[in-house]
Amino acid sequence: MGDAGGWDRSAGRYDRVLAANRRGAWRLARSLPERAFGRALDVGCGTGFAAEAMAATRGTRRVIGVDPSREMTGRFMARMAELGVEAEAHVCDVMAMPVPHGWADAVVSTMAYHWFADKPAAVAEMALRARPGGVVGILGSGRGTDREYRDLLASLDPPVPSRLVDVYDALQRDELELQRDLEEAGLRVLDVWMERRRGRIPVDELLARKDATTGHMLDDLPADERRATWNRIAAAVRAAAGPDGFSYTFCKLYGVAERPV
């Protein structure tokens, strides 16, 4: 589920720079079938946006969070304690979750799906943790997200490391791809959709978000080269921005499915 060291470094600022992910988590929780889900598994739990939304809107009182980042799971547990939700957390990958099959009334995952190395296998592991009649809800990055930023990086000369550009095509998925993953996991799809928004974002806010989510991709460079690359990206973003900020597209991909009884 991405680079654990990178997420460890981002944990302290995650809630601030990625507030849009919190809104997406609440949107997903409210899109589940209209019933209570007492036990929830939060896959790629981060600081606990999805579990928080499940507790507030779906009556969840017992939650397990899994995430490869120890810093993230620490913040997840602190948030659950503040909410009075019984919780446990495991520092692990989606493919190694120590959670019994059929344990959860709902398995939810917000903004982690696109980081899974093997998405179909990851969804299959999530499906196994849902009880018969339980649901799986997924929110991920949809195709087209941040295409303006990606195209800007691709245009730079000399070029930036190709992984900063290629990562978008590698990670993002569309509705049909998510639907296929859910169906191949043996789930009955209830709804799959994408919400596409266009807008402008303050340059500093965009750069903080990119540093938090993709900054670790430069970790293998010497420190001076890493700083020079990031400074060049920041300068290009500022040059391309208008008085109201940098134009961007954000696509949120949602899927809700049920494990057959």
Whose structure tokens read 């609440």?
26
Q: 42: buried, middle or exposed (CB in 10 Å: 19+, 13-18, 0-12)? A: buried
Q: Which CATH superfamily is domain 4-145+171-199+251-258 in?
A: Vaccinia Virus protein VP39 (3.40.50.150)
Please give the chain's pLDDT, 261 residues, in tens.
455 545 555 545 555 556 678 889 999 999 999 999 999 999 999 999 999 999 999 999 999 999 999 998 999 999 999 999 999 999 999 999 999 999 999 999 999 999 999 999 999 999 999 999 999 999 999 999 999 999 999 999 999 999 999 999 999 999 999 999 999 999 999 999 999 999 999 999 999 889 888 888 998 999 999 999 999 999 999 999 999 999 999 999 999 999 999
- What was the pLDDT predicted at 213? 83
Tell me if 212 sits within 8 A of 18, measured CB to CB. yes
Tell me if 110 sits within 8 A of 28, measured CB to CB. yes
CA atoms of 257 and 14, how far apart (whole Å): 28
- The residues with which 189 forms a beta bridge, in sequence order, are 257
Sign of the dihedral defined by the CA atoms of residues 202, 146, 135, 98, in that order: negative
Domain residue ranges in the chain? 4-145+171-199+251-258
Which tokens go with 73? 């799971």
